[in-house]
Amino acid sequence: MGQPLERRKYLPAEDTYLLKDALRSFTGDACLEIGFGSGAVLASVAGRFRLAVGTDVVSLEDARSARLPSLGLVIADRAQCFRDGLFDLVFFNPPYLPAWPIEDLAVDGGPTGIEVPVSFLGDALRVLTKEGTIVALMSDEGDAESFLSHCSDLGLEVDSTIRKKLFYETLSVLILRRNRDAEI
């Protein structure tokens, strides 16, 4: 048997604040955050949506201490527990550090750092309405170029990108929507 997976709560950091900033002008009916961590991003958005929910694989104790009433928080894998086409906004700051095997679920993103983000994106698309928006944080610590080309293979348009250069990595927030004629 390998090492048990760590399920620690991710404390707000630069990536958290950048995602929070990028979401400032979003309003709508229903939104989902995949990987709510401390709850800081979801809490900042929740008041502008009629329904705001988050999923994470943290412990029940950590979910209880997140900054939101437990009602909107679900301990579940990505968006697996939701039916298709529910949310007009889905956002995530996924684990994106290249690491294999995955030992720390808060930060390890798979061999090139995009395997976990790609799995978040796939689920996000499934639960997104046709006209909905996905807001995804990525870092050049992972293979961000391949993540972008995966988005375009899926028929997603990158509407805009917000970047922040830190001394050890560059963070980007991607705002993704389906192409008008995409079948996904």
Ligand X SMILES: C[S@@+](CC[C@H](N)C(=O)[O-])C[C@H]1O[C@@H](n2cnc3c(N)ncnc32)[C@H](O)[C@@H]1O
Q: Which residues would be at the binding site for ligand X (CB under 6 A)?
A: 10, 12, 15-16, 19, 34-38, 40-41, 55-58, 77-78, 93-95, 105-107
CB closer to ligand X out of 39 and 132 = 39
Shortest gap between Cβ of 47 and ligand X (angstroms)?
Answer: 17
Nearer to ligand X, 35 or 132 (CB): 35
Q: Which long-range contacts (C-beta less than 8 Å, at least 24 apart) are formed by 8-12?
A: 8/58, 8/62, 8/104, 8/106, 9/37, 9/38, 9/58, 9/59, 9/62, 9/65, 9/66, 9/106, 10/35, 10/37, 10/38, 10/106, 10/107, 11/37, 11/38, 12/37, 12/38, 12/40
Nearest residue (CB) to ligand X, 57 versus 154: 57
- Cα separation, 63 vs 58, whole angstroms: 6
CB of 159 to ligand X, least distance (A): 21
Minimum distance from residue 155 beta carbon to ligand X (Å): 24
Instruction: With beta carbons less than 8 A apart as the criterion, state whether 87 and 125 touch.
Output: no
All residues at 6 or more sequence positions from 35 whose CB lies less than 8 Å from its CB, including other chains? 10, 54, 55, 56, 92, 93, 94, 95, 120
Q: How far is the CB of 82 from ligand X (least distance, A)?
A: 12
Residue (112 or 157) nearer to ligand X, CB: 112
Report the residue number, 107 or 136, with the smaller CB distance to ligand X: 107
